[in-house]
Structure 1
């Protein structure tokens, strides 16, 4: 048993299994925390590892007084280790981390400070995704009193959050250990949101780096069993239904699972690359849930693309689902820089952007509803369906080293251009950003600019040929236009030598 006289501010609970060298980044990030070691503890729960992980953890505990290790028989899933760690935690707050992720240097200090300032039961810190998606809209701004009704909290259902330990204990909030194992964090987190007295979103500092390993070592990276997976989803729906009466809010919460865990598995390359028998199983499970569990307003509130896929699944039209997925695999964003300039630390930029299907601009119906022209019939929106939503474009700066993403301030003009009996939708975005103040002044590194185009159910990024290099935090940026001769030469030399940039890139002002 872990003992100690004082209650630490934060307990970090980490399930570990055969992690090998992938543990290094997490350990190094914990060693760099601005929160003093005596103010937090780390509880590693070794889930019956068969490699060198147990010895590595014991060695870490021997040299780090605030690191603790528990060894247990293999349970096969993170739920049991997380629950064991939560029972042993002494911290005022508990953070559940994965053994192959890592923290930003000030994460624990900032998360705890936010929790104390607002007396929060839960704090959701901004995440950066490495080869995996993380919520975007949720982290546009700090939210000191976020709820499922006033914020897109439902988009963040992984357990990588700060929870008040007394809150977890009061409500018996633990991870389900029996089958079904999939979506165990959804079931715990959505219940926590529904019971929380106050939930905060900390969006002005990237706290947690969430990755999908290239060796597919994450336990959730393996192909799911449709029956087990959707049994877990039904249990998540049960939790919502027990706390939220029928109506618009329940429909919106249900829609999150329809959109993310059901429709997303039947679209684009995710579907075309999957075995046919597996797709038929998934489509069958989705068809049954749509018919058994969802009110008409759930699917009706989806964007046009997702609504079309849900309709095809409900009708059992698997061949048409594949045809739509093959077409959608060619949908992408296209963006071009028409002007940019830098003065001191301030960059101004103008971008034109649009969605394209293959090599052609996306075509929309000319009836004013902004509905895309799909390659399958019979997917017209039902009466009362939500409108397509306002198409838009964002400019985003992504740090190449840390993968942090920052929305840049922009003004956008959207044009609808008739072309025969269809419309083309194009955007012009103009932004001005002070790179000395971007990301709270934490600007060191190379920032790749992107245009993010959203419309009709798609959100697609397109890389812009502009790099912003900051030698230090707050330093004057060096802007590189990758279309210039010197930039192309530098990249060619780097490729030939098999290393980084070999020819200095000049500052070019358009």
Structure 2
């Protein structure tokens, strides 16, 4: 393996108790149209006891794809194996392939071609879920170079992407082994922000994200404290790399809605008073440091209201809002002063101390099944309206020509 030419891609596979999913995973690497001579595999068995390590060694001895196997004691998470694999990788690009998942056949060929053509450092290949949901909003079209601040790319920060290895080496970028969840989001977002651009391959399924029948997928594990650790780390990274203002607010939407807000859903109603108070305590410094009016204006009313209750330390109000949401109630749509509001609990109540602006519709929102738009949104005229405007303009021109 050490004597082979520099491969285009080093596929890094961290594996723990990965059988039988590992079989299809490695077969998908062998089937790549990029060709075995342009790929290497660096596989790290993280202390498995189900035959994962033995299967890796058997595969390495028989496969046409050059494969290096490392067997180590269990590290407790995916960061350790990925970092070991990254330290041994020699390819121009690296791809972190989870042992449960598998590639589409043309995945690496298409992503390498995109990176070479566009000169970008990260390529996102379309993901499809198998026995689980997968992110979908960012796969609308193939883009050589996305505008990160006006793209849905920040809502897919898992590590399963093509990274230019020179970027990772230059930044000395590795996975934070102190984080037990969200470590891939931290790694990927830093590559997004400090790299030479991000591309999207949306016209071909490159990656199949598999939900294990035994429910042991790593993203499903870990307590709520770990989620706060993840949110804190991601918010700090954004604050360190992006100055205050519109761009920072746009990026902050991700950790606030995907990570922090998920701790304050109707599930909180079933948790103990101690857990509720602890979550409020963990969230308080994050809200104090990073919650801004610009960020708040980018959220739906129910999202903003819940976080505003957290920011104000009003667990009592938050529980009222969560009960309203749990019961499936539709907030009344209120229009006043040229603005549109959704009357969730405590709207217009001076005693609650939550200002009306918290309830203002600032992005497209919903009241039950009814779509509600911001009052200041100017909608593009429909076909009939555009036809009428053309008729009127034509009539005006005709009358003007006649004097």
Q: TM-score scaled by structure 2?
A: 0.82
Distance 1:295 1:324, change over 3 A: closer
Distance 1:275 1:15, change over 3 A: farther
Distance 1:376 1:132, change over 3 A: farther
**Could you report, residue by residue, the CA deviation over 1:303-326 in whole angstroms, capped at 9, with x for unpaired residues?**
111001101222333344344334
Is 1:262 the counterpart of 2:257? The answer is no
> Are the aligned partners of 2:83 and 2:174 in contact in 1 as well (CA < 8 Å)?
yes
Local SS of the residue matching 1:364: strand
Match of 1:306 in 2: 303
For structure 1, list consecutive stretches of 5 or more residues without a partner in the other structure.
332-356, 393-422, 428-453, 457-510
CA distance in 2, matches of 1:135, 1:80: 25
1:290 corresponds, among 260, 264, 287, to 287
Deviation at 1:233, TM superposition (A): 2.6
Match of 1:158 in 2: 158
Bigger share in helix: 2
CA distance in 2, matches of 1:327, 1:120: 46
**Could you report, residue by residue, the CA deviation over 1:141-193 in whole angstroms, capped at 9, with x for unpaired residues?**
2221114223232212111110011111111111112x233321122111111
Distance 1:133 1:321, change over 3 A: farther
Match of 1:217 in 2: 216
**Matched residues, number:** 368
1:372 corresponds, among 337, 342, 354, to 342
Aligned pairs for 1:92-111 (under 5 A) are: 92-111=92-111
Aligned pairs for 1:65-214 (under 5 A) are: 65-66=64-65, 67-130=67-130, 132-177=132-177, 179-214=178-213
**Could you report, residue by residue, the CA deviation over 1:4-24 in whole angstroms, capped at 9, with x for unpaired residues?**
321222111111111221323
Deviation at 1:390, TM superposition (A): 3.1
**Could you report, residue by residue, the CA deviation over 1:10-67 in whole angstroms, capped at 9, with x for unpaired residues?**
1111111112213233233223322222221222111121221111111111211323
Distance 1:109 1:229, change over 3 A: same
> Are the aligned partners of 2:122 and 2:197 in contact in 1 as well (CA < 8 Å)?
yes
Report the RMSD for the aligned CA atoms in angstroms.
2.8
Q: TM-score scaled by structure 1?
A: 0.66
Deviation at 1:289, TM superposition (A): 0.9
Match of 2:246 in 1: 248
For structure 2, list consecutive stretches of 5 or more residues without a partner in the other structure.
375-403
Bigger share in strand: 1
Distance 1:425 1:95, change over 3 A: same
Match of 1:508 in 2: none
> Are the aligned partners of 2:342 and 2:361 in contact in 1 as well (CA < 8 Å)?
no
Is 1:321 the counterpart of 2:290? The answer is no
Match of 1:389 in 2: 363
> Are the aligned partners of 2:137 and 2:152 in contact in 1 as well (CA < 8 Å)?
yes
Which structure exhibits the higher relative contact order, with contacts defined as CA atoms closer than 8 Å and separated by 6 or more residues?
2
Select between 274-283 and 233-242 the one with higher mean Cα deviation: 274-283
CA distance in 1, matches of 2:284, 2:143: 36
> Are the aligned partners of 2:252 and 2:295 in contact in 1 as well (CA < 8 Å)?
yes
Aligned pairs for 1:25-36 (under 5 A) are: 25-36=24-35
Local SS of the residue matching 2:86: helix
